[in-house]
Amino acid sequence: MSDLIVTIKEIKKLLPHPNADNLELVIVDGWQCVVAKETYKEGDLVLHIPPDALLPWEIADKWGVARYLSGYEKREKPDAQGNFSTAGRVKAVRLRQEISHGCVIPNEGNYKPGDDLASVYGIVKYEPPEDMSWNQGNMEKPNVNLYPYSDVQNERNFSQVFESEESVIALEKIHGTNSVIGCVIQEGIEGTPYEIMISSRKNRRKMGEGSLYEQPLLITPAFEQMLKNMYAHYTVDEIAPRSVIVYSEIFGHVQKHFDYGHPDGYNYACFDISVNGKYLNWDEVVKWCSAYGVNLVPEVYRGPYNEAKMWELSKGNTLMPMEKPHLREGIVVKCLNERMDVKIGRVILKFVSDDYLDFSSRKGGTDYH
């Protein structure tokens, strides 16, 4: 997941819409929004509401954008969970074949560039409750050393993080659900110092139930042995690490339109490994996983960083082996040698393709960016 960033931005470019005389394209940071012609000019300060923001209906009505939000038809008759009763979801849509990443609103309060107005207007990030159906596994007591995966920010918000020509790796962004499996130290327990634990993106789950998040252990028997051997390998001066964690994406019978050739079952692909919360360089991840037959996400590119090239690589079809490949969701780009940045922490960004966002919007997708 990426942070919700609802800030005042300067319009850097204003371009004609190629397919509509009465519309224009506004460019703010890395986002493009379709607006009515002659509403704004270059240099104007505007409020950008990105995709996956939940905008309260009273504010949406005031700004005249309510009918463009997901849930508009349900606001008077919400579902049993009350979804969309108070707010609508902003999504990326194509208007006359041009993508619009959310919407821009006039700077009615004369705020300064960079001012975050999410709390001012009651805007929050769309994040549905985690699925707790039978195949998700029962909840287990949390362990502070079973770290969730780091948030991966959207490149459109942080386009200056990577250095020009920096050596990077681009991995395909698989559309499924996150599985966290680790060798984790047991606090205050004598004997075996670790326990194999599993978790969804948010919650630890019980082992031995054959749940969705346990699938990598069931599909690849050597997966658990790899964890144990890594735990032993990274022991320093006879002090065991607090955790060795493998992060994978579970796919197949998970998302309605993206099964990667597994419509009636599950598979997985590892995309990162951490030791004590520190992520290994990608080549080290590849070395460990290849030695034990653990599945890896496809490597799309390695070489010097170029923003335009990364966006081009985000497009096209998946590299996963399929008889009839479907769309690629996008790519995740990180440094070949891990490093940190003062703005976002770990230097890793996602490039979600406009083709995928358009498809997901039309098909009622379940992507949470």
150-186 pLDDT, tens digit each? 889 999 999 899 998 999 999 999 999 999 999 998 7
Using the Cα atoms of residue 330, residue 31, residue 89 and residue 150 in order, give the sign of their dihedral: positive
Q: What is the mean pLDDT of residues 298-316?
A: 97
Question: Is the confidence at residue 304, as pLDDT, over 90?
Answer: yes
189 against 350, higher pLDDT:
350
What are the strands, taking DSSP E only, across 120-164?
124-125, 153-154
Question: Is the confidence at residue 80, as pLDDT, over 70?
Answer: no
Query: For the ranges 11-15, 105-109, 362-366, which has the lowest average pLDDT?
Result: 362-366
User: What whole-number distance in Å separates Cα of residue 202 and Cα of residue 91?
Assistant: 24
Show me where the domains of the chain are located.
8-125, 134-363
- The type of residue at 89 is R
Q: Residue 121 — pLDDT band, cuts 50, 70, 90?
A: very high
If you average pLDDT over every residue of the chain, what do you get?
90
- Name the CA radius of gyration of the chain, rounded: 22
Prediction pTM value = 0.89
**Whether CATH 3.90.1150.10 fits 134-363:** no
User: What whole-number distance in Å separates Cα of residue 80 and Cα of residue 78?
Assistant: 7
Give the rounded percent of residues in the chain with a pLDDT score beyond 70. Answer: 92
Q: What is the largest CA-CA distance in the chain?
A: 73
